[in-house]
């Protein structure tokens, strides 16, 4: 099986395989990608668990994330300090949540966190407006933005508090047929 | 942070987010504890109620750990805890867990191995990333058809082609000649020297050296091989393979529809509209490249605008006065008639062209080739012109945009499939002398033996020509229209070229082309056994050509095509095509007399009649068993049982629907309860504060 790699101990690879949806080969490949971002910062040898964090500006320069309008929110959600400095654990976590085999429930949880800009665990109208503006890069007029946000809230808000809680969001996502295939980053 | 009360039995993910909902700070969303026990009390408590439900071993902790929304370090800590628990847990549980884990590893290995074999997966990923899910669904559909055709070819080769080749020179004729001498005249081989370019013409039209070959029905023999060990009845094999081929295709399509249908059913009866879904789920996170993302944004913008426009159209439609409504509806009805009139005119054109072509058959040279291909030319012209006109008509009808797309698609499907039906009907008319098999030229042999000494081969040739022509037209359009268009648009920058713009990849039109091609193959498979192989090659080449034109000539379409519901729609349309092929096959098997000069069914009154004949050769026990299965005492209980099963499934589905509605109402109630309790808490705390203040003031 080619056990010549010295990046991780076998025990570490087992742990990664149990905690993410990646295989051995893919984890080693991810390590290669992580190291590419900052070769002088990230060591080749992870066996003694170095505590390295790559700053967000380097992470969002990856081709998979570069053009994503929500890249800052994604990186912020998955990083431990909330500011975007990602350790390798966070890096693997992020791509595991976005991979093809990750289940719908997991993706829904993370989608909610990404769209919750002010992190109050509700998606209020301002969060929606920011989401929509990022989506359309200012192509819509402010009245249209407001109209679409009002309509979205009207459709999805079940408990009538004019903001989306996680259960409202989850209920709405379960009706969307394209969610699983769209919420997927190929790495 | 106070410790949360344990809530055994509630959903773990929901628990987790509820807890974070109450406890999250502004500073950081997650922390990285070195050990689990001291800092994050809620998470650690979260895992223990779940441990109590560990009776189901395989869906227990190892699987759930991957799907839990916790940071990696926490997951690893939990995993360590689980591993430390192994000696404490009973040996049976740990054995179950190890089993589940190794099974999962095996499954992952197996998936990895299979994905090695899946065709073109990297290409499809690239297409999906750059052009979106709609275009990718077209290519996925094409890949499905390639695999289906190839497997069907293997089936036919294994049961019909290879035995025919092997047993060509041995074997006895099944039934000796009993018919008229005149009916058995069939001489497909050309006489004497043939001009060189005739080979090329023959290749294109399936005549000459290609007619009397394994390609067509006429070459197969009416033999049955019986040896000491083996016996092989070629006609029976031919018949059963053809029938099984249709059944196999039906099963494959329905299996593939199953997954798509599940999504459609789950999202079908939704009261949630489009806006929230567009805002939250329309961005494709796998989108790569600067140009693709800009287009995706324009796409979303367009979608939202379309939805807003539909809203305003609905409002306007509701505000119409009665007289305006009457005008609109009468306009729609008249336009409907116009479009159906166009379609019927196209059908008449195909009918006339086919008759003319059959009358003029036998002419040589280029003109002869033109006459041979006349039906295909007229069908293709009709398929090209009529949908264009129908699109213009749909614009006049002023439906909402989504309805317009669906109406146009349905009309195009109708046109394509029924035009094929008209061609077949015309052929049938000539073969069976318009249905009256005992009159005129058909009196001698019950089919028109003067015009068609071997009518099955003739039908096979027509289908072969249709397939080939369809392929050539696709290539011609690519080379003569799309590449020049791109070169003109790129190199000439004036107003006209900007307005025309680059080609868009039209998914519905292309999918209909695929369905049409596959329907032709299904119709012709009985008469031209190698047609699935030809179609496999055609579709493989088409994949590469379409890929090239997509990447070089096309820009992503501004109008989207929902990928998941559209897959279901493609498969439904494919089923229509399969239905047409089945009707043709059943009719040919049972109603028309096989040719007496050629083929494995000569001298039989119908193709199906070989089954009763061979039936008598089976052993008595098998015969009795088959009679029993067909008898009433078996079929009636079977029918009753299937009714019971269906009732059960329908009841189950309605119960699920009701419980979904109940749960939705419960969510609403819980939300209101939450608000009420929060208000109560606020009131109580205010009262407490007031009491404290008054107590402090008074003391």
- What distance in Å separates the CA atoms of residue B25 and residue B33, rounded to the nearest whole number? 16
Exposure string for B456-477, b = 16+ CB within 10 A, e = fewer: bbbbbbbbbbbbbbbbebbeee
Tell me: pLDDT of B584 over 80. yes
**Contact between residue B423 and residue B355 where contact means Cβ atoms under 8 Å apart:** no
pLDDT in tens, B143-199: 999 999 999 999 999 998 888 888 777 766 666 666 667 777 777 666 666 677 777
- Please judge whether A20 and B675 are an interchain contact, meaning their C-beta atoms are less than 8 angstroms apart: no
Instruction: State residue B646's pLDDT score.
Output: 95
- Looking at every residue in chain B, the average pLDDT score rounds to 77
- Please judge whether B280 and A111 are an interchain contact, meaning their C-beta atoms are less than 8 angstroms apart: yes
- Please judge whether B14 and A167 are an interchain contact, meaning their C-beta atoms are less than 8 angstroms apart: yes
Instruction: State residue B333's pLDDT score.
Output: 87
The confidence band for B346, taking pLDDT boundaries of 50, 70 and 90, is confident
Comparing A46-55, B164-173, B266-275, which segment has the lowest mean pLDDT?
B266-275
Residues of B in contact with A121 (CB under 8 A): 17, 20-21, 24
Tell me: pLDDT of B591 over 80. yes
Q: Report, as an integer, the average pLDDT of B683-691.
A: 92
C-alpha distance from residue B417 to each of B111, B384, B388, B519, B687 (Å): 38, 14, 17, 8, 77
A151 vs B20, B275, B288: nearest CB: B275
- Please judge whether B279 and A186 are an interchain contact, meaning their C-beta atoms are less than 8 angstroms apart: no
Greatest C-alpha distance within chain A: 61
- What distance in Å separates the CA atoms of residue B689 and residue A60, rounded to the nearest whole number? 49
Instruction: State residue B366's pLDDT score.
Output: 78
Residues of A in contact with B269 (CB under 8 A): none
A144 vs B112, B277, B308: nearest CB: B308
Closest by CA position to B592, among listed B522, B526, B517: B526
The confidence band for B612, taking pLDDT boundaries of 50, 70 and 90, is confident
- Please judge whether A119 and B267 are an interchain contact, meaning their C-beta atoms are less than 8 angstroms apart: no
Residues of B in contact with A136 (CB under 8 A): 297, 300-301, 304
| DSSP SS3 for B224 | strand
| Closest residue in A to B102 (Cα–Cα) | A18
Q: Where are the alpha helices (DSSP H) in B6-90?
A: 12-23, 36-39, 41-52, 61-66, 72-85
Instruction: State residue B12's pLDDT score.
Output: 42
A68 vs B30, B285, B672: nearest CB: B285
What single DSSP character describes residue B179? S
Comparing A48-57, B128-137, B651-660, which segment has the lowest mean pLDDT?
B128-137
| Closest residue in A to B61 (Cα–Cα) | A18
Q: Where are the alpha helices (DSSP H) in B132-233?
A: 133-156, 162-166, 196-205
- Please judge whether A19 and B72 are an interchain contact, meaning their C-beta atoms are less than 8 angstroms apart: yes
- What distance in Å separates the CA atoms of residue A46 and residue B595, rounded to the nearest whole number? 77
The dihedral formed by the CA atoms of B43, B44, B46 and B49, expressed in degrees to the nearest 10: 180
Substitution target in A182, A183, A187 with the highest count of B β-carbons within 10 Å is A182
% of chain B at pLDDT higher than 70: 80
Instruction: State residue B22's pLDDT score.
Output: 35
Tell me: pLDDT of A154 over 90. no
Instruction: State residue B153's pLDDT score.
Output: 93
Residues of B in contact with A14 (CB under 8 A): none
CA distance B259 to chain A (A): 12
- What distance in Å separates the CA atoms of residue B672 and residue A159, rounded to the nearest whole number? 6
Phi/psi for B150 (5° steps) reads: -70, -45
Q: Report, as an integer, the average pLDDT of B567-591.
A: 88
Tell me: pLDDT of B54 over 60. no
Residue that the structure tokens 């993706």 belong to: A107
Burial class (CB in 10 A: 0-12, 13-18, 19+), B333: exposed
Residues of A in contact with B292 (CB under 8 A): 67
CA distance B282 to chain A (A): 7
pLDDT in tens, B353-362: 888 887 777 7
Instruction: State residue A95's pLDDT score.
Output: 92
Residue B630: count other Cβ atoms within 10 Å of its Cβ. 9
Closest by CA position to B50, among listed B14, B103, B87, B1: B14
Residues of B in contact with A172 (CB under 8 A): 272, 276-277, 280
Instruction: State residue B253's pLDDT score.
Output: 92
Instruction: State residue B30's pLDDT score.
Output: 42
Exposure string for B291-307, b = 16+ CB within 10 A, e = fewer: ebbebbbebbbbbbebb
pLDDT in tens, B223-259: 777 777 777 888 888 899 999 999 999 999 999 888 7
- What distance in Å separates the CA atoms of residue B588 and residue B601, rounded to the nearest whole number? 12
| DSSP SS3 for B68 | coil
**Contact between residue B423 and residue B353 where contact means Cβ atoms under 8 Å apart:** no
Residues of B in contact with A21 (CB under 8 A): 66
**Residue B634 contacts by C-beta under 8 Å, 6 or more apart in sequence?**
B628
Comparing B116-120, B151-155, B374-378, B644-648, which segment has the lowest mean pLDDT?
B116-120
Q: Report, as an integer, the average pLDDT of B661-676.
A: 81
- Please judge whether B26 and A119 are an interchain contact, meaning their C-beta atoms are less than 8 angstroms apart: yes
Structure tokens at B230: 């083996």
Residues of A in contact with B273 (CB under 8 A): 151, 155
- What distance in Å separates the CA atoms of residue B291 and residue B375, rounded to the nearest whole number? 43
Instruction: State residue B533's pLDDT score.
Output: 93
- What distance in Å separates the CA atoms of residue B628 and residue B622, rounded to the nearest whole number? 10
Instruction: State residue A107's pLDDT score.
Output: 92
Angle between helices B196-205 and B455-477 (to 10 degrees): 90
Comparing B68-72, B74-78, B94-98, which segment has the lowest mean pLDDT?
B94-98
Instruction: State residue B686's pLDDT score.
Output: 92
- Looking at every residue in chain A, the average pLDDT score rounds to 85
Q: How many CA atoms lie within 13 A of B411 on its CB side?
A: 30
Comparing B25-34, B99-108, B249-258, which segment has the lowest mean pLDDT?
B25-34
What single DSSP character describes residue A123? B
Comparing A59-68, A178-187, B3-12, B438-447, which segment has the lowest mean pLDDT?
B3-12
**Residue B638 contacts by C-beta under 8 Å, 6 or more apart in sequence?**
none
- What distance in Å separates the CA atoms of residue B99 and residue B340, rounded to the nearest whole number? 63
Strand segments (E) across B536-669? 554-555
- What distance in Å separates the CA atoms of residue A31 and residue A26, rounded to the nearest whole number? 9
- What distance in Å separates the CA atoms of residue B602 and residue B596, rounded to the nearest whole number? 4
The confidence band for B314, taking pLDDT boundaries of 50, 70 and 90, is confident
- What distance in Å separates the CA atoms of residue B436 and residue B454, rounded to the nearest whole number? 19
Residues of B in contact with A23 (CB under 8 A): 108, 112
B300 vs A19, A135, A153: nearest CB: A135
| DSSP SS3 for B187 | coil
What single DSSP character describes residue B593? P
Tell me: pLDDT of B340 over 90. no
Tell me: pLDDT of B19 over 50. no
Instruction: State residue B506's pLDDT score.
Output: 78
Instruction: State residue B269's pLDDT score.
Output: 47
Residue B635: count other Cβ atoms within 10 Å of its Cβ. 12
Residues of A in contact with B27 (CB under 8 A): 82
Comparing A120-134, B25-39, B546-560, B612-626, which segment has the lowest mean pLDDT?
B25-39
Q: Report, as an integer, the average pLDDT of B204-213.
A: 77
Tell me: pLDDT of B134 over 80. no
B356 or B11, which is more confident?
B356
Q: Where are the alpha helices (DSSP H) in B158-233?
A: 162-166, 196-205
| Closest residue in B to A143 (Cα–Cα) | B308
- Please judge whether A93 and B72 are an interchain contact, meaning their C-beta atoms are less than 8 angstroms apart: yes
- What distance in Å separates the CA atoms of residue B220 and residue B601, rounded to the nearest whole number? 9
Comparing A36-50, B265-279, B522-536, which segment has the lowest mean pLDDT?
B265-279
CA distance A52 to chain B (A): 13
- What distance in Å separates the CA atoms of residue B179 and residue B181, rounded to the nearest whole number? 6
Closest by CA position to B132, among listed B303, B308, B307, B309: B303
Tell me: pLDDT of B648 over 90. yes
Residues of B in contact with A161 (CB under 8 A): 671, 675
Instruction: State residue B10's pLDDT score.
Output: 36
Instruction: State residue B540's pLDDT score.
Output: 94
Comparing A149-163, B11-25, B420-434, B549-563, which segment has the lowest mean pLDDT?
B11-25
Instruction: State residue B50's pLDDT score.
Output: 37
Instruction: State residue B645's pLDDT score.
Output: 96
C-alpha distance from residue A30 to each of A60, A91, A185, B98 (Å): 15, 8, 13, 27
Instruction: State residue B372's pLDDT score.
Output: 76
Residues of A in contact with B71 (CB under 8 A): 80, 89-90, 93
- Please judge whether B671 and A171 are an interchain contact, meaning their C-beta atoms are less than 8 angstroms apart: no
Q: Where are the alpha helices (DSSP H) in B432-506?
A: 455-477, 483-491, 495-500
- Please judge whether B672 and A160 are an interchain contact, meaning their C-beta atoms are less than 8 angstroms apart: yes
Using the Cα atoms of residue B42, residue B45, residue B51 and residue B52 in order, give the sign of their dihedral. negative
A182 vs B282, B297, B298: nearest CB: B282
C-alpha distance from residue A107 to each of A163, A184, B285, B396 (Å): 20, 9, 12, 44
Closest by CA position to A179, among listed B659, B286, B656, B306: B286
B276 vs A89, A152, A183: nearest CB: A152
- What distance in Å separates the CA atoms of residue B495 and residue B497, rounded to the nearest whole number? 6
- What distance in Å separates the CA atoms of residue B431 and residue B441, rounded to the nearest whole number? 10
The confidence band for B267, taking pLDDT boundaries of 50, 70 and 90, is low
**Contact between residue A63 and residue A70 where contact means Cβ atoms under 8 Å apart:** no
Phi/psi for A4 (5° steps) reads: -85, -5
- What distance in Å separates the CA atoms of residue B356 and residue A49, rounded to the nearest whole number? 82
CA distance B124 to chain A (A): 12
Instruction: State residue A3's pLDDT score.
Output: 55
Question: CB pairs below 8 Å between A and B: how many?
Answer: 206
- What distance in Å separates the CA atoms of residue B58 and residue B60, rounded to the nearest whole number? 5
C-alpha distance from residue A7 to each of A47, A59, B361 (Å): 6, 21, 74
B285 vs A139, A172, A182: nearest CB: A182
**Contact between residue A34 and residue A53 where contact means Cβ atoms under 8 Å apart:** no
Report ipTM for this prediction: 0.81
**Contact between residue A70 and residue A134 where contact means Cβ atoms under 8 Å apart:** yes
Comparing B11-20, B177-186, B328-337, which segment has the lowest mean pLDDT?
B11-20
- Please judge whether B293 and A68 are an interchain contact, meaning their C-beta atoms are less than 8 angstroms apart: yes
| DSSP SS3 for B226 | strand
- Please judge whether A18 and B289 are an interchain contact, meaning their C-beta atoms are less than 8 angstroms apart: no
Tell me: pLDDT of B605 over 70. yes
Substitution target in A159, A161, A180, A185 with the highest count of B β-carbons within 10 Å is A159
The confidence band for A112, taking pLDDT boundaries of 50, 70 and 90, is very high
**Residue B617 contacts by C-beta under 8 Å, 6 or more apart in sequence?**
none
pLDDT in tens, B416-465: 888 888 888 888 888 887 777 677 777 777 777 777 788 888 888 889 98
Instruction: State residue B331's pLDDT score.
Output: 85
A20 vs B66, B101, B304: nearest CB: B66
- Please judge whether B280 and A96 are an interchain contact, meaning their C-beta atoms are less than 8 angstroms apart: no
């Amino acid at each position: 099986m080619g056990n010549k790699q010295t990046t991780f101990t076998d025990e570490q690879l087992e742990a990664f395989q149990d905690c993410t949806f990646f295989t051995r080969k893919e984890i080693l490949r991810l390590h290669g990608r992580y190291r590419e971002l900052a070769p002088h910062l990230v060591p080749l040898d992870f066996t003694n668990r170095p505590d390295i964090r790559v700053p967000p500006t380097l992470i969002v320069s990856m081709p998979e994330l570069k053009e994503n309008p929500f890249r800052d929110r994604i990186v912020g959600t998955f990083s431990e300090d909330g500011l975007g400095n990602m350790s390798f654990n966070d890096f693997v976590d992020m791509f595991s949540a976005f991979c093809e085999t990750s289940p719908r429930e997991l993706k829904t949880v993370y989608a909610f966190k990404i769209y919750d800009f002010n992190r109050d665990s509700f998606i209020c109208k301002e969060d929606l407006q920011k989401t929509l503006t990022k989506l359309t890069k200012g192509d819509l007029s402010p009245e249209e933005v407001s109209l679409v946000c009002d309509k979205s809230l009207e459709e999805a808000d079940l408990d009538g508090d004019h903001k989306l809680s996680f259960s409202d969001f989850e209920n709405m996502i379960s009706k969307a047929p394209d969610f699983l295939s769209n919420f997927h980053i190929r790495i | 942070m106070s410790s949360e009360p344990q809530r055994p039995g509630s959903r773990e993910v929901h628990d987790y987010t509820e807890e974070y909902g109450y406890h999250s700070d502004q500073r950081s969303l997650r922390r990285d504890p070195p050990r689990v026990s001291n800092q994050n009390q809620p998470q650690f408590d979260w895992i223990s109620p779940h441990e109590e439900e560990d009776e189901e071993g395989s869906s227990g902790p190892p699987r759930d750990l991957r799907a839990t929304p916790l940071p990696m370090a926490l997951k690893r800590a939990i995993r360590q805890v689980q591993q430390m628990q192994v000696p404490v847990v009973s040996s049976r549980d740990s054995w179950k867990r190890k089993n589940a884990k190794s099974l999962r590893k095996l499954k992952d290995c197996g998936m990895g191995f299979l994905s090695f074999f899946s065709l073109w997966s990297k290409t499809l990923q690239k297409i999906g990333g750059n052009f979106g899910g709609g275009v990718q669904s077209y290519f996925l559909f094409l890949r499905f058809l390639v695999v289906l055709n190839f497997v069907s070819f293997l089936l036919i080769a294994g049961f019909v082609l290879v035995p025919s080749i092997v047993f060509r020179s041995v074997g006895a004729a099944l039934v000796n000649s009993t018919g008229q001498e005149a009916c058995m005249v069939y001489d497909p081989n050309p006489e004497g020297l043939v001009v060189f370019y005739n080979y090329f013409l023959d290749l294109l039209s399936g005549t000459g050296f290609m007619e009397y070959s394994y390609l067509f029905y006429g070459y197969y023999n009416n033999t049955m091989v019986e040896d000491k060990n083996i016996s092989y009845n070629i006609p029976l094999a031919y018949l059963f393979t053809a029938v099984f081929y249709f059944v196999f295709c039906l099963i494959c399509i329905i299996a593939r529809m199953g997954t798509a249908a599940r999504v459609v059913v789950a999202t079908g009866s939704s009261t949630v509209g489009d806006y929230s879904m567009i805002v939250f789920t329309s961005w494709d996170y796998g989108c790569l490249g600067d140009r693709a993302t800009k287009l995706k944004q324009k796409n979303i913008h367009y979608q939202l605008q379309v939805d807003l426009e539909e809203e305003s159209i609905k409002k306007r439609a509701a505000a119409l006065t009665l007289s305006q409504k009457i005008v609109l509806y009468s306009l729609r009805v008249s336009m409907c008639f116009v479009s159906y009139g166009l379609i019927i005119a196209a059908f008449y054109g195909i009918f006339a062209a086919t008759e003319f072509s059959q009358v003029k058959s036998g002419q040589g040279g280029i003109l002869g080739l033109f006459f041979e291909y006349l039906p295909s030319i007229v069908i293709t012209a009709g398929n090209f012109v009529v949908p264009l006109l129908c699109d213009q008509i749909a614009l006049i009808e002023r439906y909402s945009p989504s309805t317009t797309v669906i109406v146009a698609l349905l009309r195009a499907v109708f046109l394509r499939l029924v035009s094929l039906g008209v061609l077949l009907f015309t052929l049938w008319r000539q073969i069976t002398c318009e249905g009256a098999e005992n009159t005129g030229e058909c009196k001698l042999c019950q089919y028109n033996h003067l015009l068609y000494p071997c009518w099955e081969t003739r039908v096979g040739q027509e289908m072969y020509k249709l397939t080939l022509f369809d392929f050539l037209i696709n290539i011609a359009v690519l080379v003569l229209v799309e590449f020049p268009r791109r070169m003109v648009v790129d190199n000439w920058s004036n107003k006209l070229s900007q307005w025309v713009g680059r080609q868009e990849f039209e998914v519905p039109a292309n999918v209909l082309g695929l369905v049409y091609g596959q329907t032709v193959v299904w119709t012709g498979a009985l008469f031209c056994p190698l047609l699935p192989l030809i179609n496999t090659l055609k579709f493989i080449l088409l994949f590469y050509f379409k890929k090239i034109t997509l990447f070089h000539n096309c820009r992503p379409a501004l109008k989207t095509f929902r990928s998941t519901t559209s897959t279901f729609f493609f498969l439904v349309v494919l089923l229509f095509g399969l239905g047409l092929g089945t009707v043709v096959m059943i009719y040919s098997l049972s109603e028309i007399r096989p040719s007496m000069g050629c083929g494995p069914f000569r001298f039989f009154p119908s193709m199906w009649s070989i089954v009763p004949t061979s039936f008598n050769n089976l052993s008595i026990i098998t015969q009795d068993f088959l009679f029993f299965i067909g008898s009433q005492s078996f079929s009636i209980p079977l029918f009753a049982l299937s009714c019971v099963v269906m009732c059960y499934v329908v009841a189950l589905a309605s119960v699920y629907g009701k419980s979904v509605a109940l749960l939705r109402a419960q969510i609403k109630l819980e939300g209101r309860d939450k608000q009420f309790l929060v208000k109560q808490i606020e009131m109580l705390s205010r009262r407490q504060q007031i009491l404290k203040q008054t107590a402090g003031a008074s003391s």
